[in-house]
Structure 1
Amino acid sequence: MAFSSSTDSPSITIMVCINEALTDDELRSVLAKLESQRDKEVFGLVCKRWLHLQSTERKRLSARAGPHMLRKMAARFYRVLELDLSQSISRSFYPGVTDSDLRVIADGFKCLRLLNLHNCKGQQIKVLDINKCSNIGDSGVSSVSMACSSSLKTLKLLDCYKISDESVLSLARFCKNLETLVIGGCRDISDASIKLLAVSCKSNLKNLRMDWCLNISDSSLCCILARCRNLEVLNIGCCEEVTDVAFQGLNGRGDTELSLKFLKVSNCPKVTVAGIAMVLDKCETLEYLDVRSCPYITKAGCEEGGLRFPERCKVNFTGSLAEPEVLLCEWTRSASAGQNL
């Protein structure tokens, strides 16, 4: 694109290429002054350079789902902050958002802050892994729990720091078929929501990871052990408020046994040999017990206390908290798809 400029002499014409005269920042300023979305789209039709600038400046995008189309959009509009995939409820022919769509969104839209899935027929989504998505908050999780209430079985929210009780309460209300929940590192979650979750999902919950949930205490753990009869994996590592009191309720279960296969209480400084003894009295299925960095639980102390571990149980007394958890990986590989922590 060029502009001509005539001087006083009619025989001299100066041609100026606008792409050479204007910097990217200046072109962005021009784009910012365009009020309508249509004008901004026309801006991108001028040339490839202008199209690239128009694409990178796009912050909000409305589109239909589908992995092929989403990949193309992610490559072009990679700085999008808001992605709206909401659908009209009348469009019954449209299949809606699938797991493949969510994988493309997670991998391709690196700057995404808001995802609208309203009426997207997410009833088929069974596993949703958004571990370490630090900008995911309660509104997003609540929307997913409502949309996928009948199908969602596995939800992983590891280190999603903006998640609080509101998310867990929503899961307890809508997702009663939930089998696996990972909320490790979500430090704003408290006993109130966990107790309601234990009541609502008591028949189906099998795997619960809530290490580093610093507001979790005896009351919620006692409720989990009393209600969730099918629980097989429990990780309460670094929950420093948990004490032996959390396990005292096991004495009132009669002949009912725990289903636990994996229990991690590492770095729980208030849990002692007495607490572990109460667990062992009600759990013959235990395959792995992690008590690292528990100052009151040692191998010698367990022997002195007369603790008898199940024959197949591996007990981890020592080692760094950062060491590879080989046994956990082996156990989860043998578990059913989507159930590993």
Structure 2
Amino acid sequence: METGLTDPSTSILQLPDDCLYFIFQRLESSNDRESFGLTCHRWLRIQNSSRRSLQFQCSFTQLNSTSLSRPSTTITFFHLYRLLCRFPQLQSLSLSGCIELPDSGLSMLLNYGSKLESLHLDCCFGITDHGLSFVAGGCPLLTIISLYRCSVMDIGLETLSRSCLNLKDVNLSYCSLISDHGIRALSQNCRHLRSISISHCRNVTGVGFQGCSQTLAYLEADSCKLEPEGISAIVSGGGLEYLNISNLTWCIHGHGLTTIDARFISKLRVLNFRLCRTIDDDAIVKIAQECSLLEEWNLALCHEISILGWESIGSNCRNLERLHVNRCRNLCDEGLQALRDGCRRLQKLYLGRCRLISSTAIEMFKCLRSEVEIIDEEIMHIGPDWAFHL
């Protein structure tokens, strides 16, 4: 028995790499995985080659006041070289928050980015079109890229879209230098697009989306200068399920929602019209009648909706589960009654600071629709959370 315990042929150190990879993949805690790599150089190599994602300590993937206030760590070409050499099988890489990262730092992806599927560069203020050319040249399998607040332009998007044809999720929020030309290249070359954010891109009118793929299901366009032709182009693929055009205060020539072909909006499930102060009854009636799958609708601060609009929502939105009507100036007792008598699947009503609604109307709503939760809270963001994740 003692001889068997010390026989090298029975030692775990003699197991082939395939077995060790199998063992490592079954380790659940991070401490166990770190301990595995500290055993010896061979086991460290197996740990390194098994790693699929990397996020720097200064990085963040959830943009909020806490993450944005973190101190930045300077990431140099040398840092990236060592880490990409050490972890050759990376599929996800987050450099978000590396505000001093230069374009040259991404040149390493030409040799080490062939397996990358997800890349986050949020708030990498030094990244321009030149840096995107390295991404395009080295990451042919890329499906997710986040360029929040990067200094990229249309040329960079064109270069990226010609090489990374499998792109699905693209975050361009606050990329103020891009226009419809870059969006057109992206939507025409990348036919598997699933979600795009162009929020606060003030040079985008939306026309670049004309003829986009039916796979496009999620679009964020908060605080954009969308034209009527642009909104028609955005829905032209016919596959949109989530659309955010909140704060559409820049629209000069109207919103054009009433002229959209019903076929292109039939799949919409979540709509965010918060702060769209020019959205009127005609648009509300059109959407309520044509978007039969609608489950959530944010109409907070939509002041032009009157009784005609509220009645249409009540009688047509049979699948609506969540409705936001905070601070709607023209929502009165009669409008609330229309919502109460209709919307049979309603679960949550976000109702607050509607000055024309009496306490009696609210109590009557609670009495007759006790299954509906009335919430005195204004929600800024609604919709699915699957887009742009690592």
Shorter-chain TM-score category? 0.5 to 0.7
Q: Are 2:152 and 2:178, in contact at CA under 8 Å, matched by a contact in 1?
A: no
Aligned to 1:80: 128
Question: How far apart are the structure 2 equivalents of 1:298 and 1:217?
Answer: 23
Whether the 8 Å CA contact 1:79–1:111 is kept in 2: the answer is yes
Shift of 1:285: 1.1
1: distance between equivalents of 2:294 and 2:273? Answer: 14
1:314 alignment counterpart: 373
Structure 1: distance between partners of 2:329 and 2:289: 23
SS class of match (2:231): helix
Q: Does structure 1 residue 186 correspond to structure 2 residue 248?
A: yes
Q: Provide the residue aligned with 2:232 in structure 1.
A: 169
- Local SS of the residue matching 1:289: strand
Q: Is the 8 A contact 2:315 2:343 kept in 1?
A: no
Q: Does residue 141 of structure 2 align to residue 111 of structure 1?
A: no
Q: After superposition, give the CA deviation of every residue in 1:76-98 in whole Å (9 maximum; x if it has no partner).
A: 99252577669x9xxxxx99573
Task: Report the CA distance shift for 1:69/1:306 in structure 2 as closer, same or farther (over 3 A).
Answer: closer
After TM superposition, list the pairs within 5 Å mapping 1:238-249 onto structure 2: 238-249=301-312
* Aligned-partner SS, 1:155: strand
| Amino acid across the alignment from 2:349 | L
Structure-2 residue corresponding to 1:120: 162
Structure 1 residues 83 and 277, CA, compared in 2 at 3 Å: closer, same or farther? farther
Q: Which residue of 2 aligns with 1:150?
A: 214
Quote the Cα distance in structure 2 between the aligned partners of 1:151 and 1:230.
Answer: 17
Structure 1 counterpart SS, 2:265: coil
Larger radius of gyration: 1
Distance in structure 2 (CA, Å) of the matches to 1:251 and 1:80: 49
C-alpha distance in structure 1 between counterparts of 2:294 and 2:142, whole Å: 28
Q: Aligned in 2, Cα 1:261/1:304: closer, same or farther, shift over 3 Å?
A: closer
Cα gap change, 1:288/1:240 in structure 2, threshold over 3 Å: closer, same or farther? same
Normalising by structure 1, we get a TM-score of 0.59
Structure 2: stretches of 5+ with no match in the other structure: 1-100, 194-212
Which residue does 2:280 correspond to in 1?
217
Number of matched pairs: 258
Contact 1:187 1:213 in 2 (8 A): yes
* 2:82 counterpart residue number: none
Give the C-alpha shift of residue 185 in structure 1. Answer: 2.1
Q: Distance in 2 between matches of 1:287 and 1:75?
A: 38
Structure 1 residues 178 and 127, CA gap change in structure 2 (3 angstroms): farther
Structure 2 distance, partners of 1:66, 1:85, is 14
Give the share of equivalent positions with the same residue, in percent. Answer: 17
Q: Secondary structure in 2 aligned to 1:120?
A: helix
Taking structure 1 as reference, are residues 134 and 195 closer, same or farther at Cα in structure 2, changes over 3 Å only? Answer: farther
Whether 2:350 is the aligned partner of 1:293: answer: no
Kindly provide the CA deviation profile for residues 66-116 of structure 1, in whole angstroms up to 9, marking residues without a partner as x. 686997999999252577669x9xxxxx9957333x22xx15x73224342
| Pair 198,309 (structure 1): closer, same or farther in 2 beyond 3 Å | farther
Q: Give the corresponding residue for 1:273.
A: 333
User: For 2:302 and 2:355, how far apart are their aligned partners in 1?
Assistant: 14
Tell me which amino acid in the other structure corresponds to 1:112.
V
8 A Cα contact 2:231 2:257, kept in partner: yes
In the TM superposition, 1:41-60 aligns within 5 A as none
* Residue in structure 2 matched with residue 28 of structure 1 by the alignment: none
1:258-317 CA-partner distances (Å, limit 9, x unpaired): 111111011110121212222333311111111212111243233358973251x2112x
d(CA) in 1 for partners of 2:114 and 2:333? 54
Residues 199 and 293 (structure 1 numbering): CA distance in 2 closer, same or farther, change over 3 Å?
same
Alignment of 1:29-68 (within 5 A): none
Aligned alpha-carbon RMSD (Å): 4.6
Q: Which amino acid aligns with 2:286?
A: C
Whole-Å separation in 2 of the counterparts to 1:275 and 1:156: 29
